[in-house]
Structure 1
Amino acid sequence: MTALISIGIGATLGAWLRWAFGITLNHIFPTIPLGTLTANIVGGFLIGLFMAITRNHAFIPESARLAITTGFLGGLTTFSTFSAETVTLITHQEYAWTAAIMIAHVGGSILATLFGIYVFKLLTV
């Protein structure tokens, strides 16, 4: 039951942050929803940072791990919204934007994850 509550609290907070990114950023550039992209890049960075932290500090309780990873970061990042936005670009025959957004989300998130690990290493040297 503790795991369920931890995940639920984390997911709620992550979803609220994703919503805030959307409300704040999506109007800036209507063709590419920057809120979703920001959520996925920030989520990638944070999971990389958390991976590095937990690799070196096993004392983090399981309920906290679940709240942060499955809950908060799962609620923050969004593959389904990214997929829907990509399909919308395809249906509007925006193929260059489609390719750009796919590269930005997937490549950006992976690079952000690696950067999160790197930042942890810099901070712990």
Structure 2
Amino acid sequence: MMWLAVGAGAALGAWLRWGLSVWLNPVSSWLPLGTWLANLGGGYLMGLAMGAVLAHPHWSAETRLFIMTGFLGGLTTFSTFSSEVLTHLLKGNWVAATGMILLHVCGSVMLTLLGFWQAQQWWGRA
């Protein structure tokens, strides 16, 4: 049933990412905010999930796969982010492309660390 856990989580994550993009991407012409929020929020939630799994090793493989591989894998998107960066590069918008790369990559890693730290505060160190 692991395949079902991954598939169900991925569908929910992808639907949320799509909804965020429909709602927020039109707000900014240079930074698709829905994609950015999905990637940074997903990074934070991944950090929380990693900390939670370490603190609660009894969680089933299906639960971990549903949350981390499925939902968060479906929510975050490297391919959409990459296509949005390429769109800026093709238009010669090097500053916007570089800014997007820094905001997505650095922001996501920092928020993953923050989420992991937060999980350790809530559930203790593993």
Same fold by TM-score greater than 0.5: yes
Give the unaligned 5+ runs of structure 1: none
Per-residue deviation at 1:50? 0.5
- Provide the aligned length of Structure 1 versus Structure 2: 124
Give the corresponding residue for 2:50: 51
Q: Name the % identity.
A: 41
**Partner Cα distance (1:115, 1:71) in 2:** 21
Aligned-pair CA distance for 1:23: 1.1
Q: CA deviation at 1:122?
A: 2.6
Using the size of structure 1 for normalisation, the TM-score is 0.95
Dislocated runs of 4+, deviation >2 Å: 121-125
Match of 1:61 in 2: 60
Q: How does 1:56-95 map onto structure 2 within 5 Å?
A: 56-95=55-94
CA distance in 1, matches of 2:57, 2:87: 43
User: Which residue identity is paired with 1:35?
Assistant: G
**Is the contact made by 2:52 and 2:123 (CA closer than 8 Å) also made in structure 1?**
no
Shift of 1:111: 0.4
What is aligned with 1:119?
118
State the shift of 1:18 in Å.
Answer: 0.2
- Aligned equivalent of 2:8: 9
TM-score, with length taken from structure 2 = 0.95
Pairwise CA RMSD: 1.0
